[in-house]
Chain A
Amino acid sequence: MKEGYSEDRIITAGTYTAVWLALLVLLSATIAVSKLRLLAQFSAVGSLAIASVKAGLVLAFFMHLKYERPFLKGLLALAVSALTLLIGLTFVDVGYR
């Protein structure tokens, strides 16, 4: 078997439970950030940053990405970069019109 990659790797239930609890804590944090208006002008950025941490946890552990080969991680990075570029360039267009 290939060393260290997902084929022979079973994440333990304890890890999944820890990830699930972390997701619920982050959910509470994101409500707090938006409702308490701690950082009024940053609330959108803050919410999206917390959402990205949550998405990262789901990807890394629930979707086993942490244990996948670099090739697959690279492909995902490519897809996400394409979307970021698309949104970024559209904003440059709309913002300076």
Chain B
Amino acid sequence: MLKAEMGRIDHEGKKMGIWFFLFTEILFFGGMFLLYAIFRYRYADDFHRGAAGEDLFLGTVNTVILLTSSYTMALSLAAVRAGKRLLSSRLQAATILMGLAFLAIKYLEWSGKIARGLYPDSPVLLKLAKGEILFYGLYYVMTGIHGLHVFIGCVVIAFMLFSTRVGRINKENYSRLENTALYWHFVDVVWIYLYPLFYLLT
């Protein structure tokens, strides 16, 4: 009885830890959103011209992919808690694949822009209006740091997938998967805001 009590896993405490990390992430991305808001207010026309050069189709496909990956991630946690480890690991694998697809599309978008000479400090970019230079600067920094978060998420989920397969993550001990899911959903929330700011501004 006592042993069982001592061995009880503190899911609540572990979850609080990842939430505190996510609060710091809110302010980390928040600083960039603040810059975006101020510069868009100052250079509204330039920002509209910059956004017109974005590929709405690719941006929308990526949004669908990321929203769906959040869905499979949520299902994978529910599966583990219901004792279905195999199903959970398959859902985690699907999440990783969608994360990689997101990054592949991001690669296409970036290389398309770079081919047109639109990259930070490029001669083509520097000839544009000041607001457009700022728009592309923010685009690369914000989608780049977001993409880095997606990449880190894929790596972490790969570790979780392994742990689930070998049974270290199971019905009783699922905190690491839960925390990974919370991080992944947060990255999804950031994209939910990035999407209208960069692709729907016309």
Contact = CB atoms under 8 A, between A and B. Distances in A.
Are A and B bound to each other? Answer: yes
B62 to A, nearest CB: 11
Contacts of A54: 192
Interface in A56-90: 58-59, 61-63, 72, 75-76, 79-80, 82-83, 86-87, 90
A34 B202 CA distance: 7
Interface in A7-55: 7, 10-13, 16-17, 19-20, 23-24, 27, 30-31, 34-35, 43-44, 47-48, 50-51, 54-55
A75 B23 contact: yes
Residue of B70, B185, B200 ringed by the most chain A CB atoms within 10 A: B200
Contacts of A47: 196, 200
Contact of A59 (B15, B181, B189): B189
Contact of B196 (A17, A51, A59, A90): A51
Chain B binding site: helix, strand, loop or mixed by DSSP?
Answer: helix
Given A44-B201, A83-B26, A34 B196 contact: yes
Interface string B49-76: 0000000100010011001101101110
B157 to A, nearest CB: 15
A15 to B, nearest CB: 9
Residue of A20, A62, A91 ringed by the most chain B CB atoms within 10 A: A62
Given A27-B67, A62-B74, A82 B189 contact: no
Contacts of A63: 181-182, 185-186
Contacts, number: 105
Nearest to B35: A90
B26 to A, nearest CB: 5
B23 A24 contact: no
Interface residues of A, number: 43
B134 to A, nearest CB: 14
B81 interface: yes
A95 B95 CA distance: 43
B27 interface: yes
Interface in B1-53: 11-12, 15-16, 19, 23, 26-27, 30, 33-34, 37-38, 41-42
A10 to B, nearest CB: 5
Residue of A6, A11, A23, A34 ringed by the most chain B CB atoms within 10 A: A23
B71 to A, nearest CB: 4
B188 interface: yes
B66 to A, nearest CB: 10
Contact of B193 (A55, A91, A95): A55
A66 B17 CA distance: 18
B192 A90 contact: no
A4 to B, nearest CB: 13
9 contacts: A20-B68, A50-B196, A51-B193, A55-B192, A62-B188, A83-B30, A86-B34, A87-B37, A91-B38
